[in-house]
Structure 1
Amino acid sequence: MLVRLYKSQLADALQTVAKAVERKASAFYLQAVKLTFEKDYLIMQTTNLERFLTIKVPLEQVGLFVEPRTVHVDGIKFAKFVKELDEEILFAPEDTYLEVKSGKAKARFLVISEADLPEFPEPVYDIEFDAKLLLDAIEKVSFAISKETDNLKCLLIDGKEDHINFVGSDGYRLVIYKYPMSFDKRFRLHVSGLALLKDLLDETDTVKLGATENMTFVATDLWELALRNAENEYPDYEAVIPSDYSCRVVFYANEMQKALKRLLTFGKDAVGVEMFVDSNEITMKTQSPDYGEIEVKVSVWDGSGDMHLAFNGKYLKEFIDNAEGKVEMKLVDAESPMVFENGENYIYVLMPMRL
């Protein structure tokens, strides 16, 4: 078999595949990419057992097509070599090697015979979904998603009949991005696949979404990403949001962003921030035994009540970096969750620190 592919069509797909390949895999086959040369497409597959990626790239047959051929090669080395080739690339898969030719360059990649990938899950799809909305939600929510707590290691898509809640939490903070639309389903997108999914969604208008008990699927006609679900259900995130407040103030996100950037100059050794709130301004202080102390102030546009409390400045900055315009901060006391609302559709809940 001899086939022709074009680098302009192959490059982005290979870059995504390379990101999906497990670089420090305990099993050698997890470093491999499975290449299946069919009549009209090259199908590339790789997995780390938590995420399963499939990408299709158009190809041209050179000569007579007999039957599909499948080989496994080192994913990182293969992607790195192809990246340096000319536009037209010829592939000849054989039993023991994959020959790649382009211009004056030629390589033979040894086939990894023991690299037969685990069986990929059979996809199930329930609905079509706006890809731009999903991409926007990932960007607004992913910073707060846990990397450690199993049932929180996902972006939750939670249908509430007349709107969707896109939810992320790590147990110390909670972010909710609301979008008004009729929706009554629930999906969980594992955190290990969100960076890949952002790349895949970048030039896509619509995706298919579906789920089984163990897996969640996102796909178009040219790619599919299957993400393993956490074993335990997502907790009742709305229960942690207070309903009564003793202090409310409104400030501008850009002013708070500048203040927090200055406040966090000392780095990770001084992320604890002491805050004094009144109806006129917000005063924030941080200190480091090695570098000294910093104090900044932010004007209050509207508000009532006084409060003295502390919080993780880095955690607040990650939310403020995604906010625009006015933000309302609502406080109960120095020990209860702090609530920030950027309009009606973007809500952040942050647990305070002990003074």
Structure 2
Amino acid sequence: MKLSCLQENLSKGLQTIMYSVPAKSSLPILSNVLIATENGRIKLSSTNLETAITTYVGASVEEEGSTTIPARLLKDFISNLPAGTINMQVKDEILAINSKTTKSKFNGSSAKDFPELPSFPKKSQVLEIDATTLNNAVNIVAFAAGTDTSRPVFTGIYFNYSKGKLTITSTDGFRLSEKILNMKGNVDDFSVVIPAKTIVEVAKIFVASQEPISFVLNQDENLALFKSEDTLIATRILDGQYPDYKKIIPSEHVVKAIFNSPEFTEAVRLTDIFAKESNNTIKIRFDPEGKIKITSLSEETGQHESNLNAEIEGELVEIAFNSKYLLDFLNNIKSEKINFASNGNVSPCVFTTEDQKDFIHIVMPMQI
């Protein structure tokens, strides 16, 4: 293999594939990036056997070939080279890289030892999603996903497509976020759960794409595939039945409120400082007189109370919350106004915003 390319393009490509390079692996080859030539370009691939990423980099190819090189070593090296043309040549699994002022050699391994990589199905129903739209949806949903690997389905994001609507949902059993997107395309209904960490990376990698993201399911191999411009990401679909969360969304409310998001965020953040010794428990009082009072419950570190004005209808209600859950929601939602509704201090509490249509966030109250 012999070729030349621009340092900045190769550095960007290596950064793209790093997500699926495992930090530790019983298979040393998985710590490598597969470098190959294909159709006059450099093909970079990595996999941790759960997720695989392939991206292409423009190059001037003199000789075809392939090899694998330790990914982090190569990424760190290329990112520190000055911008400009670099020349690469592989001989006997040794990669030589020359720039204007440097000469380096990397010991590699045969590409034959690298796992087989998924390819984008040619005959499949494709759902096209605008890259910015997906990124915005993931940002307000993914934070509610669980981290407990003993319940794998809760560590994923639920994608449900039906009648032209794509519903994206996550929950850890204590809070839930749901965003509904209106879609175009002739695609059969489907439901899958995809690892939340992977979806976050998909959204991040493709956020600047000018082309829509092509989303395809390969049920035979239990894969979800995302493709846009020069990059393909394939990930395993999580097994398990996603909970029927719709039944916990309350249809009746005894109190409703509208309040300023920055003011509420500041009040919760200040109260949270005093709540760390009480499992982050804070109490919020919704008064129909137009006042919200937020207090800490632990007296070990002191006491705190924040007050703010709000539009409130219904009964006077006091509800205990985990302040961490509220701050996760508030830090990910960029809106001036928040709408709140609850059917009492033991009922799931509903948060919506004026800026995000077809979005709902639910937080379960704490028992005190």
| TM more than 0.5 | yes
1:338, distance to aligned residue in structure 2 (A): 1.0
Name which of structure 1's ranges 160-169 and 84-93 shifts more when overlaid on structure 2: 160-169
Tell me the equivalent position of 2:337.
326
Q: Give the letter aligned to residue 73 of structure 1.
A: I
CA distance in 2, matches of 1:330, 1:115: 58
* 1:277 counterpart residue number: 286
**What does residue 172 of structure 1 align with?**
174
- 1:262 is aligned to 270
Q: Report how far residue 39 of structure 1 moved.
A: 4.4
- Contact 1:20/1:196 (8 A) holds in 2: no
Q: Shift of the alpha carbon at 1:27?
A: 2.6
1:173-192 alignment runs, 5 A limit = 173-182=175-184, 184-192=189-197
Paired with 2:239 and 2:59, the residues of 1 have a C-alpha distance of 40
Matched, 1:340 2:340: no
Q: State the Cα distance separating 1:19 from its structure 2 match.
A: 3.6
Q: Quick one: which of 250, 260, 263 aligns to 1:252? A: 260
Per-residue Cα deviation, 1:132-159 (whole angstroms, up to 9, x for no partner): 1111111111111122231122222323
Identical residues among aligned pairs (%) = 23
Farther off after superposition, 338-347 or 137-146: 338-347
Distance in structure 1 (CA, Å) of the matches to 2:276 and 2:40: 52
Indicate the residue corresponding to 1:77 in structure 2: 73
Letter in 1 for 2:328: E
Q: Cα gap change, 1:28/1:266 in structure 2, threshold over 3 Å: closer, same or farther? A: farther
Structure 2 counterpart SS, 1:292: coil
Q: List runs of 5+ in structure 1 lacking aligned partners.
A: none
Counterparts of 2:103 and 2:248, CA distance in 1: 60
Structure-2 separation of matches of 1:162 and 1:128: 12
- Tell me the amino acid that sits aligned with residue 74 of structure 2: F
The correspondence of residues 78-157 of structure 1 with structure 2, limited to 5 A, is 78-86=74-82, 87-113=84-110, 116-124=113-121, 125=124, 126-148=126-148, 149-157=151-159
Deviations 1:100-141 (A, max 9, x none): 111221111111349823222343352222111111111111
Q: Distance in 2 between matches of 1:346 and 1:38?
A: 43
CA distance 1:26–1:351, change in 2 (3 Å) = farther
- What letter corresponds to residue 89 of structure 2 in structure 1? A
- 5+ long unaligned stretches in structure 2: none
Rounded Cα–Cα distance in structure 2 between residues aligned with 1:136 and 1:222: 22
| Superposition map of 1:220-231 within 5 A | 220-231=228-239
The CA deviation string for residues 203-258 of structure 1, in whole angstroms up to 9 with x for no partner, is 11311110123110000241100111111132222121111122222212122111
Q: Provide the rounded CA distance (Å) in 1 between the counterparts of 2:260 and 2:177.
A: 19
Deviation readout 1:305-339 (Å, 9 max, x if unpaired): 11122111111122122141322211112222111
Contact 1:72-1:115 at 8 Å conserved across structures: no
Query: Do the aligned residues in 2 keep the contact of 1:286 with 1:295 (CA within 8 Å)?
Result: yes
Instruction: Give CA-to-partner distance per residue, 1:187-209, whole Å, 9 cap, x none.
Output: 54322313421332121131111
Aligned residue among 292, 309, 316 for 2:302: 292
Please give the alpha-carbon distance, in whole angstroms, between the structure 1 residues aligned to 2:101 and 2:316: 73
* Residues 10-66 of structure 1: per-residue CA shift (max 9 Å, x gap): 22221222343211223322211111123411111111122111111111024xx4x
The residue matched to 1:167 in structure 2 has which SS?
strand
**Cα pair 1:50 1:192 within 8 Å, conserved:** no
Asked if the contact 2:153–2:193 (Cα under 8 Å) also holds between the matched residues in 1, the reply is: no
In the TM superposition, 1:175-214 aligns within 5 A as: 175-182=177-184, 184-205=189-210, 206-213=212-219, 214=222
1:348 partner amino acid:
H
Please give the secondary structure, in 1, of the residue aligned with 2:209.
coil
Q: Which residue of 2 aligns with 1:54?
A: 54
Residue aligning to 1:8: 8
Q: Is the 8 A contact 2:255 2:312 kept in 1?
A: no
Amino acid in the other structure paired with 1:208: S
- TM-score scaled by length of structure 2: 0.88
Alpha-carbon separation, structure 1, partners of 2:111 and 2:297: 56
**Higher alpha-carbon deviation: 81-90 or 14-23:** 14-23
Following superposition, the deviation at residue 8 of structure 1 comes to 2.2
SS at match of 1:293: coil
User: Using a 3 Å threshold, how does the CA distance of structure 1 residues 348 and 83 change in structure 2: closer, same or farther?
Assistant: same
The answer to whether the 8 Å contact 2:21/2:71 transfers is: yes
Is the CA contact (8 Å cut-off) linking 1:20 and 1:47 kept in structure 2?
A: yes
CA contact (8 A) 1:39 1:61 kept: no
Paired residue total: 351
